[in-house]
Amino acid sequence: MSSIQLTPTGKLRHFLTIEGLPRDMLVSILDTAESLTSVKDRSIKKVPLLRGKTVANLFFEPSTRTRTTFELAAKRLSADVLNIAMSTSATTKGESLLDTLRNLEAMHVDMFVVRHAQSGAAHFIAQQVAPHVSIVNAGDGRHAHPTQAMLDVFTIRRHKPDFGGLTVAIVGDIRHSRVARSQIHALNTLLTGEVRVIAPQTLLPADVETLGVKVFHSLDEGLRDVDVIIMLRLQRERMQGGRLPSEHEYYQQYGMTTERLAIAKPDAMIMHPGPINRGVEMSSSVADSPQSVILEQVSHGIAIRMAVMSMAMQHNQPDKAPQAAT
């Protein structure tokens, strides 16, 4: 899929998935985000990188963190932002996704940020849009959530920059998680020492080893010598049939508690993409512990989304890296 994401000269055009993107591109996004983090400290929290551009947020699924941080990121880049609540749009009267898109294109939108329950929705839209328009995937079905994975590796890099020396464990509902897939691709592309998944068999995809991970079914075994722990929510909205006995039993076996956290390295980071279900995947004592960087992840989402949007909007401009200090 990288061919549709990159221009013939290797610039970012659309951001749909981490899979297939070169390591240099991921590092460039991380470095650009690093240069943009200081924008939040200015008295006027804005740079003109997207001045004159229009960004439309099309969210066909609920979102708190992703939608608001994309909106803030676009505003900090000085773009005009349209937030289209799909539940109150004409799609509820039978208008197709393509017709909605064509109508918004007629309003000269330059970038669409798309969240959709259907895997491949953002890719489908990317195939239809005019050459100057960019698509950013804000989560499609169980397929990919690439900006979430980038903000996660950005958060890891800020604390533990040597990816080659790290063991990272992703715990929970890997099977239904677009976040986990994107995180695994990002961590492996950045040459992470070891990527583990820890879950019951029923919450793992059939082909999980082919993604380049080590599988554990016991949380206590999987946490040994781990530097970074990423907890995932049980994604009941995508589960078909009974994959779990009960949330109580799941918490007994896979819930992160202070005692279990002590099995990992003493300075292990605790991460979660949100939303958290306290008492299901982790205790409040872990979520709010000094080792937790969960709210830091949310803050970093703004810089990462600024980086992705500014880079994608330069795909048809002469070579020039986005600069914060303009």
Binding residues (CB under 6 A) for ligand CP: these are 63-66, 139, 148, 273-275
Are 292 and 268 within 8 A, CB to CB? Answer: no
Return d(Cα 78, Cα 142) in angstroms, integer: 32
Shortest spacing between CB 140 and ligand CP, in angstroms: 12
Return d(Cα 298, Cα 134) in angstroms, integer: 24
Shortest spacing between CB 57 and ligand CP, in angstroms: 11
Short-list 204, 216, 211, CA closest to 189: 211
Chain residue whose CB lies nearest ligand CP? 66
Q: Which is nearer to ligand CP, 222 or 273 (CB)?
A: 273
What are the residues whose beta carbons fall under 8 Å from the beta carbon of 266, sequence distance 6 or more?
A: none
Q: Which is nearer to ligand CP, 113 or 198 (CB)?
A: 113
Return d(Cα 221, Cα 209) in angstroms, integer: 18
Are 286 and 257 within 8 A, CB to CB? Answer: yes
| Residue 40 one-letter amino acid | K
Q: Which is nearer to ligand CP, 47 or 171 (CB)?
A: 171
> In 10 A of CB 213, how many CB atoms?
22
> Quick one: CA torsion of 156, 66, 149, 246, rounded to 10 degrees?
100
Shortest spacing between CB 63 and ligand CP, in angstroms: 3
Q: Which is nearer to ligand CP, 48 or 275 (CB)?
A: 275
Shortest spacing between CB 278 and ligand CP, in angstroms: 16
Shortest spacing between CB 115 and ligand CP, in angstroms: 7
Shortest spacing between CB 152 and ligand CP, in angstroms: 9
In the chain, where does DSSP find H-type helix?
A: 2-5, 23-36, 65-76, 97-105, 121-128, 146-159, 178-189, 219-222, 247-254, 258-261, 284-287, 294-312
Q: Which is nearer to ligand CP, 148 or 283 (CB)?
A: 148
Shortest spacing between CB 154 and ligand CP, in angstroms: 14
What are the residues whose beta carbons fall under 8 Å from the beta carbon of 38, sequence distance 6 or more?
A: 324
Return d(Cα 290, Cα 299) in angstroms, integer: 17
Q: Which is nearer to ligand CP, 6 or 61 (CB)?
A: 61
Q: Which is nearer to ligand CP, 66 or 283 (CB)?
A: 66
Shortest spacing between CB 42 and ligand CP, in angstroms: 26
What are the residues whose beta carbons fall under 8 Å from the beta carbon of 17, sequence distance 6 or more?
A: 1, 5, 123, 137, 143, 144, 146, 182, 185
Q: Which is nearer to ligand CP, 176 or 314 (CB)?
A: 176
